[in-house]
Homo-oligomer: A and B are copies of this chain.
Amino acid sequence: MRIKVAGIGLTKFGELWDKSLLDLALEASYEAIEDSGIDKNKIDAVFVGNMLIGKIAGQDHLGPVITSSLGINCASFRIEGACASGGLAIHLAIQGILAGTYKNVLVVGAEKMTDAPSHQITWALMGASSSRERKAGLTFPALYALMTQAHMQKYGTTRKELAEVSVKNHYHASLNKKAHYPFEISIEKVLTSTSISSPITLFDSSPITDGAGAVVLSADTDSRGLPAGRQVFITGSAVASDTIDLAQRQSLSELKATQIASKKALEQAGAGIKDIQIAEVHDCFTIAEIMAMEDLGFCSKGTGGRFIAQGATRLGGSCPVNTSGGLKACGHPVGATGVKQIIEITTQLRKTAGARQVKNANIGLTQNVGGTGATVVIHVLQT
C-alpha cells in the first residue's frame, strides 16, 4: 500500500462560536485541496467523518452538504464510528483508491460540539457506548475511570504517572498555534483539579472542542517536485473492533483492538513498532495514552506509565507521542480527531512542524479509538 497524502488542511481547534460545522469543514477542505495542487474538479469522492451533527443540529447527509458547498459533483459518503469516525473515513477512502474506483479523494473530519448545552453533548457522546452502559449511568469519564482503576490496581500505575501524560501533551500544545489549549500545566495542576470520575480529574480529560481537518489522498505516487523525503505516503491502514460493552471484556486494562489493528497495519507497511519514530495516539483520558503505549508495543504491558514519565515520548525523547498536543491539549472534535492525527504526522514527516518538529522523522503511526476501544483504527505513514 502506498497512498499519497497529497494535501492537508486544518482549522484552529477551540471554542469557535462564530463558525458552523460547514464553515469549519470548508475551511479545512479548501486548504487541503490548495495544498494538494489538485484541481477541485479532479476530486472524485468525498468521505466525511462526523459523529454528532445529526443529533446536535439535525443535519445528516453531510456528504452532499459539503460537496454542494465546495461546488464539486462527485460521490460522497458520511462515515460514523464514534470518536474513530475520522480514522474510519481515511481507511474507507483508501479502500476506494486501492479498488481503483477513485483516484483523488478528499477526507474531511469535522465536529461542532460547543453549540450544544453540556447535558446534550454528554447524552450525544454516550451514543458511542452500549444502551446497557448508558442505562447504568456510565458516562465516558466513568468508563475510563474503571479502566484507570483496573490499570492502577493490576500494574501499580500512579496518579502522578497519569498526570505526566497531560503535562507532556500540554507542553507539546504550547508549541502548536492550532491547539485548543496552547499552554503548559504542572503536575500539581492535574492532581489538584476537580475530580470528574475518580481517579480521573478534569486535567486527565480531553475537552469539548470545535474543529475540522481535511486531507487529499491520491493514487498518484509522484512527489510533485517536493524535495526528496518530503512527500508522505500512507503505507498501512487497519481497523479492528472489540465488544461495545466493557463488561464483556476479559481485561479492562488493555485495548485488544489496538493490538490487532496495529499488528495488521505494521505488517502492511513492512515495519515493526521499533521503527516508528513518532506517533499520535488517542489520549481521550490519560489512561488511554498509557494503554496505547503498551498495546502498540512501545513498552511492555503495565509499564506505560513509567515509560511516559521517563520522557521517551516527550519532544526530544526517542519517540515523541502526540506532538500536536493530543486530544487532551490540542482538543478533541470527535469526527476530526482521526484526520488531525494524519495531518500532524504528515506535517512532521514533511519537516514543517516548526517549534515542535521531530528531527529526522520518516515513519509515524496514528491510533484513533472509538468509544472505549470497540473500534480502533491504525495508520502508518512514511516518507
B95 touches A371 (CB 8 A): no
A155 within 8 A of B: no
B371 touches A64 (CB 8 A): yes
A374 within 8 A of B: yes
B76 touches A375 (CB 8 A): yes
In the bound complex, CA of A126 to CA of B260 (Å): 39
B95 touches A63 (CB 8 A): no
Q: How many copies does the complex hold?
A: 2
Known: A75-B241, A241-B76, A243-B68. A370 touches B81 (CB 8 A): no
Count chain A residues whose beta carbon lies closer than 8 angstroms to a beta carbon of B: 59
A98 within 8 A of B: yes
**CB contact list, A118-135 vs B, under 8 A:** 123-124, 126-131, 134
B81 touches A245 (CB 8 A): no
Contact mask for chain A residues 171-215; partner B; CB cutoff 8 A; 1 contact, 0 none: 000000000000000000000000000000000000000000000
In the bound complex, CA of A375 to CA of B45 (Å): 12
Tell me which residues across on chain B come within 8 A of A99, comparing CB atoms.
94-99
16 residue pairs from A and B, CB less than 8 Å apart: A54-B80, A58-B123, A59-B127, A60-B127, A61-B82, A64-B243, A64-B370, A65-B244, A68-B244, A68-B248, A75-B238, A75-B240, A80-B80, A92-B96, A95-B99, A97-B99
A151 within 8 A of B: no
Most B CB atoms within 10 A — which of A45, A81, A126, A245?
A81
A242 within 8 A of B: yes
A61 touches B95 (CB 8 A): no
A55 within 8 A of B: yes
Contact mask for chain A residues 109-153; partner B; CB cutoff 8 A; 1 contact, 0 none: 000000000000001101111110010000000000000000000
A62 (CB) vs chain B CBs: closest residue:
B80
A59 touches B374 (CB 8 A): no
**CB contact list, A260-289 vs B, under 8 A:** 260
B127 touches A63 (CB 8 A): no
CB distance from A339 to the nearest CB of B (A): 16
In the bound complex, CA of A253 to CA of B64 (Å): 19
* Nearest 3 CB-CB pairings of A with B: A98-B99, A60-B127, A64-B374
In the bound complex, CA of A45 to CA of B60 (Å): 24
